[in-house]
Structure 1
């Protein structure tokens, strides 16, 4: 029987990924600094493997952040009892593509263009965007 990752382990892993992506550090580079394989870093980031205290301290040093960073906005103990909580906010903050999209979006200075981009993304996400709706963007 396979055990579901604990909510705190997933949260800590997601924060490791977030910080690593913010700094532009690859999984390979972090793994190298820890003396591990990048696959082990992947397991930490998914929450599949629990990060020990000394290892977390080493990760914090490599990523130049205090240890408490990894526990900010962590689910409460009562929330941890819920096995399948919505991880959408965590996924948004830890996805490399989402971070790139957010950086590009905030670099748009024209508020009208920002609103059009937002409308386009919403339409694409809903699946209701017809191919001709994209003509203004090509």
Structure 2
């Protein structure tokens, strides 16, 4: 798959894909999820071979109050499935709304 094809599937410009690939820009968890979906691979694919992943999951849980494997939670998994059932343009708007609400709650 070309950068252009991936960018189209994810809904961004191919230049952004290049910036992710080179490490110029950091990739958000939600964008990583989108890319994994576009490539038909689990998100864990991008972390294969990393050591200390269990420690990082425990740190994330302690600092954010979220389980290390959030998709093991039935409610979270149902929410993600429902989210991806929404048409893409509406899903992006919902995502932005959720981001604004979470920033306001912090």
> TM-score per shorter chain, which class?
0.3 to 0.5
Q: Give the TM-score normalised by the residue count of structure 1.
A: 0.36
Greater gyration radius: 1
